[in-house]
């Protein structure tokens, strides 16, 4: 599991000061990028490998509302680790300050080869970070 703490900002909320679905998706993407960065895969390195991640089928299930200025924790879980060659499923859980589950975002990720312009199995150098047996970097 990989996690980070964030604070709900003004651009993340609606007129009622509750976090919007678009903000959940934004923090989901940020956490995946941070996970890759912590494991040594900066955008520059990904570009040099000519691979990237494509997302598909985001689903959000909300249990409680996060409100403006609230500190929350976002945790990354891999729920389909077999990766069926090209696809992997992740689950991002959002917890409030009391460690109560507020929302869950499920996302399908595909590795994309920019030279062949098609989805591929993840390169071995990257794929090892997406299995249960590996360490997930420095989780906070």
For the chain, the structural domain boundaries read: 2-130
Quick one: DSSP state of residue 18? Answer: B
Termini Cα distance of the chain: 10
For 95-106, the pLDDT digits (tens) are 999 999 999 999
Say if domain 2-130 classifies as CATH 3.10.129.10: yes
**Span 33-56, mean pLDDT?**
84
Instruction: Compute the chain's Rg from CA coordinates.
Output: 16
Q: Do the beta carbons of residue 20 and residue 14 sit within 8 Å?
A: yes
pLDDT of 138 above 70: no
Cα angle value 58/22/20 (rounded, 5°): 120
pTM over 0.85: no
The share of the chain scoring above pLDDT 90, in percent, equals 47
């Amino acid at each position: 599991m990989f996690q980070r703490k964030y604070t709900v900002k003004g651009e993340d909320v609606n007129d009622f000061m509750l976090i919007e679905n678009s903000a959940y998706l934004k923090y989901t993407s940020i956490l995946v990028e941070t996970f890759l960065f912590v494991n040594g895969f900066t955008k520059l390195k990904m570009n040099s490998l000519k691979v990237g991640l494509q997302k598909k089928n985001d689903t959000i299930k909300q249990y409680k509302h996060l409100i403006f200025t609230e500190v929350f924790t976002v945790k990354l879980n891999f729920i389909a680790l077999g990766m069926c060659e090209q696809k992997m499923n992740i689950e991002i859980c959002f917890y409030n300050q009391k460690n109560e589950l507020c929302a869950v975002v499920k996302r399908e990720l595909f590795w994309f080869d920019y030279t062949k312009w098609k989805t591929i199995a993840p390169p071995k150098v990257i794929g090892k970070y997406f299995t249960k047996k590996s360490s997930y970097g420095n989780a906070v």
